[in-house]
C-alpha cells in the first residue's frame, strides 16, 4: 500500500475489533501494508514466525471474515476482505505520519511479540493521529479506561511512547526515533 489515507480507513475498520488478538492485528496490518494476497508459506518466509502461529491466525482471521481465500492450483491464497477498506466513520481525524515512516516503524513493532492486541491498537492509533492523553483516546475510541491506562503504562515502560505535560495534562506520543533506531541496532 502506498497511501496512508487508504491504510487509515482500513485501520479504523479493524481498530475496534476486540475479538482480534495481537497476531491478528500483526497479520492484518502487515497484509494491508505489503500486499493483499499471500499464502501462509509466503507470509512465513517473509516474517519467520512459527508455522502453527501463522496457521492458527490465518484460520481465525478467515473464520471471522477478515480474510477471504481462493484456490490457485494447489495453493490457498489469502487476501484481505475488501469490506475492511470501506470508510464507515462518523468523524475524520488528521493523519500525522507518512506511509514510509509508518512502514519503517511497523517493521520493528511487528516483531515485538510481547505486545498485546491493546498495545498494537493504542500504538498504531497514536502513530496515525499523533500525541494524545489517555482520556482523549479512550473517549474518542470508546475503549475501556483500565485497559487503555495499563497499555499506555506498558508502552511507556518499553520506551515506545514519550510523555510530556501540556496544560496540566499528560500527553503521550510515539517514540518514532527510538523505534526506528532500535531496528537498526539489531
Q: Note the pLDDT tens digit of each residue in 126-157.
A: 999 999 999 999 998 888 889 899 999 999 99
Give me the mean pLDDT over the 166-173 stretch.
Answer: 95
Phi, psi of 128 (to 5 degrees): -70, -45
pLDDT tens per residue, range 47-103: 888 899 999 999 999 999 999 999 999 999 999 998 888 887 767 789 999 999 999
Phi, psi of 86 (to 5 degrees): -90, 125
d(CA 79, CA 74): 16
d(CA 157, CA 151): 10
pLDDT band at 35 (very low <50, low <70, confident <90, very high): confident
HSE of 163 in the Cβ direction (CA atoms, 13 Å)? 12
Give me the mean pLDDT over the 12-22 stretch.
Answer: 88
CB neighbourhood size of 178 (10 A): 14
Are residues 75 and 39 in contact, defined by beta-carbon separation less than 8 angstroms?
A: yes
- DSSP-derived 3-state class of residue 153: helix
DSSP 132: B
Query: Cell numbers at residue 54, please?
Result: 501463522
pTM score above 0.85: yes
Distance of CA 152 to the CA centre of its chain: 15
Burial class (CB in 10 A: 0-12, 13-18, 19+), 155: buried
d(CA 80, CA 62): 9
pLDDT of residue 183: 59
pLDDT band at 106 (very low <50, low <70, confident <90, very high): very high
pLDDT of residue 80: 94
Nearest in space to 114 (alpha carbons), one of 41, 15, 183, 26: 26
Amino acid at each position: 500500500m502506498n497511501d496512508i489515507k487508504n491504510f487509515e480507513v482500513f485501520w479504523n475498520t479493524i481498530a475496534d475489533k476486540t475479538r482480534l488478538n495481537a497476531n491478528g492485528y500483526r497479520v492484518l496490518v502487515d497484509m494491508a501494508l505489503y500486499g493483499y494476497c499471500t499464502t501462509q508459506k509466503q507470509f512465513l518466509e517473509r516474517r519467520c514466525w512459527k508455522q502453527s502461529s501463522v496457521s492458527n491466525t490465518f484460520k481465525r482471521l478467515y473464520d471471522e471474515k477478515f480474510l477471504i481465500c481462493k484456490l490457485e492450483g494447489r495453493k490457498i491464497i489469502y487476501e484481505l476482505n475488501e469490506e475492511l477498506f470501506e470508510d464507515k466513520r462518523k468523524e475524520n481525524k488528521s493523519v500525522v505520519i507518512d506511509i514510509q515512516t509508518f512502514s519503517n516503524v511497523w517493521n520493528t513493532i511487528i516483531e515485538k511479540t510481547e505486545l498485546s492486541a491493546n498495545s498494537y491498537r493504542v500504538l498504531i492509533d497514536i502513530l496515525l493521529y499523533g500525541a494524545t492523553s489517555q482520556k482523549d483516546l479512550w473517549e474518542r475510541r470508546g475503549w475501556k479506561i483500565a485497559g487503555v491506562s495499563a497499555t499506555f503504562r506498558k508502552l511507556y515502560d518499553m520506551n515506545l511512547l514519550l510523555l510530556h505535560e501540556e496544560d496540566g495534562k499528560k500527553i503521550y506520543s510515539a517514540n518514532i526515533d527510538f523505534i526506528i533506531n532500535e531496528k537498526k541496532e539489531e
